[in-house]
A and B are shown apart, each in its own frame.
Chain A
């Protein structure tokens, strides 16, 4: 065959590569890289959304003062102010050292555990001294709420998705139908999900209240009770985000050969034992992937809190993204909101890096 003749000069391979990459790079730069740096730049200014909108010069460069106003206070001291969390951190440090010495943890996991424990020792130790106060009383409690939410939702999603996947990992029509059914909640939008669960949790007409009453109990005011509001949001979230995790686990489960289970059956490991000794160790990478993806996802929680409880009662379900949203768009304090956003980015960025490293790490 003859090569088609063209009058145009032939492109080199490199040129062609850049040409094909250009649409992505331009979009990525325009909609992700630029806004990120712009956000960081805004966070270094005293920037009122409305004022700057009408007069672009109505902003003032303030350096890191926004960060100070959000995260710091007057007369902040360090000590063993919250013995529970700090004690837990000390235990974590000891456990990491011990498990590493008896070789039950890989070096990477030991370091990760040690860093997390160290943060647990250091961070809760800061507290306002005499006459002192935080500049922003709501910020750290909000961070705490977000952490609590992540701490409940991630294990909740991971464990229930894993159990569901293990139960549905059979090639029958019924299982296929059930898989679709459980995945279905994932495609709903947050407004629909929260609406469904608001009705579920309603103390008058809700399904849960009805069941409680049938058994002679008093219905709980889930969404307005300080003790239950966070739990309600977590339950709705677990139901909502089960699907993807379940699909990932199913894929991981199907990678484990049937022969191995037969060998295990002959070795007297069936049911729960086989799950513990064969399934879990072979799913380790999938579990890590799911956990990290869920962490990154749930740090950004907004809709559930905003639509179900409006951050209440008494700020118990106020989460970081909602606080950023309120600071920026209700109070128009765009500079401070951006500082908080950068803080959130650092947390999520850390987990992304962990995911990246774990993904690369060979067994």
Chain B
């Protein structure tokens, strides 16, 4: 009973508006990821849910309760910070129990809950240590433990993995996913890493300049992006974009040296469009000569080929077979027309 609802939420710092009327519904128990480039307002939006930033306009509900003007401590949220924000003078146990202590919970109860949390997070051996004596991953776990102990309705994670090294990041990502399954609470997670977003989320919210670009399940956003920004942001490597013009019921694409006919409602003649094609949705045909291979990156199972068109546009494609393109080969593409995405060049909205 503790989903999160944002209604026309606005944030202004003086004259600068950073969040422009966001409407969002997060279901109870859902894992929702806010994703977007730096400065898109994702952290600000989450901090507004936490109550650490004042909401200029609009309402925030947690469950049935309007918490827009409620104190952070009384919202039933717990937050995990990017910098961990552990209390340096307290032991792991005291760090985790501090919130309960401040809320007047008895000592035995606190001990019970911290023990429970430390068991889930495998922190039993470190309860008496201070944060300075812990590794980055352990500190992160303590920060998560501190959130768990409070038994909040909503967990907030503010880029929790960005201070960890790559290996640990993957490990903690799995751990957070496991935690969500185990606890089943509503979680909001902020990241700029689309891999984290894809792997963790039930629902992804893509933000840009304080506006929601699209909301949906990870594969929904991948398969059916609403606009060029979302199409480019979700998926790695990013979708290839080339220019095109509508001409006589077809789209003329100079980079491909051909016209394409995707399954869309074709706009009027002369409309400038952008055509998108994911790196994994085309095969390289080595008998062709439309593109020159500038560079290849062999990662083992996959290689990436960097192609240059005669128009100067560059594209990346993926290859998996035994025979792979080499630098300075010339190739052409073969793909299914239904894999093409078309966007209006001016509004960057998807044309379906």
Contact = CB atoms under 8 A, between A and B. Distances in A.
A270 interface: yes
B106 interface: no
B98 interface: yes
Interface string A246-276: 0000000000010110111111111001000
A257 B83 contact: yes
A278 interface: yes
Interface stretch (B72-80, B251-259, B297-305, B319-327): B72-80
Contacts of A363: 89, 130, 132
A355 interface: no
B334 to A, nearest CB: 52
A267 B99 contact: yes
B170 interface: no
Interface in A283-321: 284
B77 A267 contact: no
B88 A265 contact: no
Given A266-B99, A267-B98, A268-B99, A257 B85 contact: yes
Contacts, number: 66
Among A267, A269, A277, chain B packs the most CB atoms within 10 A around the CB of: A267
Interface in A225-252: none
Nearest to A266: B72
Contact of B87 (A263, A270, A284): A263
A262 B102 contact: no
Contacts of B77: 266
A264 B90 CA distance: 13
A267 to B, nearest CB: 4
Of listed B52, B71, B77, B84, residue having the most chain A CB within 10 A: B52
B98 A260 contact: no
B73 A266 contact: yes
Contacts of B83: 257, 259
A281 B99 contact: no
A265 B99 CA distance: 9
Nearest to B98: A267
Contacts of B73: 265-270
Contacts of B52: 262, 265-266
Nearest to A282: B89
Interface string B134-177: 00000000000010001000000000000000000000000000
A263 B102 contact: no
Interface in B79-137: 79, 81, 83-90, 98-99, 102-103, 130, 132
Contact of B103 (A264, A268, A281, A284): A268
Nearest to B130: A363
A260 B85 CA distance: 5
B102 to A, nearest CB: 4
B50 interface: yes
A315 to B, nearest CB: 45
Nearest to A265: B72
B195 to A, nearest CB: 25
Contact of A259 (B74, B81, B99): B81
Residue among A264, A270, A282, A363 with max Cβ neighbours from chain B (10 Å): A264
Contacts of A268: 73-74, 99, 102-103
A281 B91 CA distance: 13
A254 to B, nearest CB: 15
Contacts of A262: 52, 72, 79, 81, 85
Given A278-B87, A282-B88, A282-B89, A267 B102 contact: yes
A284 B90 CA distance: 13
A266 B70 CA distance: 12
A277 B95 CA distance: 11
A288 to B, nearest CB: 14
Contacts of A282: 88-89
B136 to A, nearest CB: 15
A341 B98 CA distance: 50
Contacts of A273: 102
Given A269-B98, A270-B73, A282-B89, A263 B103 contact: no
A278 B86 CA distance: 11
Contacts of B150: 267
A159 B265 CA distance: 75
B50 A266 contact: yes
A260 B79 contact: no
A277 B102 CA distance: 10
20 contacts: A257-B83, A260-B85, A260-B86, A262-B72, A264-B98, A266-B50, A266-B51, A266-B52, A266-B72, A266-B99, A267-B99, A267-B146, A269-B73, A270-B71, A277-B98, A278-B87, A281-B89, A282-B89, A363-B89, A363-B132
Given A267-B99, A282-B89, A363-B89, 8 more contacts: A259-B85, A260-B86, A260-B87, A265-B52, A265-B71, A267-B102, A269-B98, A277-B102
Which 9 pairs across A and B sit closest by C-beta, in order of nearness? A259-B85, A268-B73, A267-B99, A281-B89, A263-B85, A268-B102, A265-B72, A269-B102, A266-B72
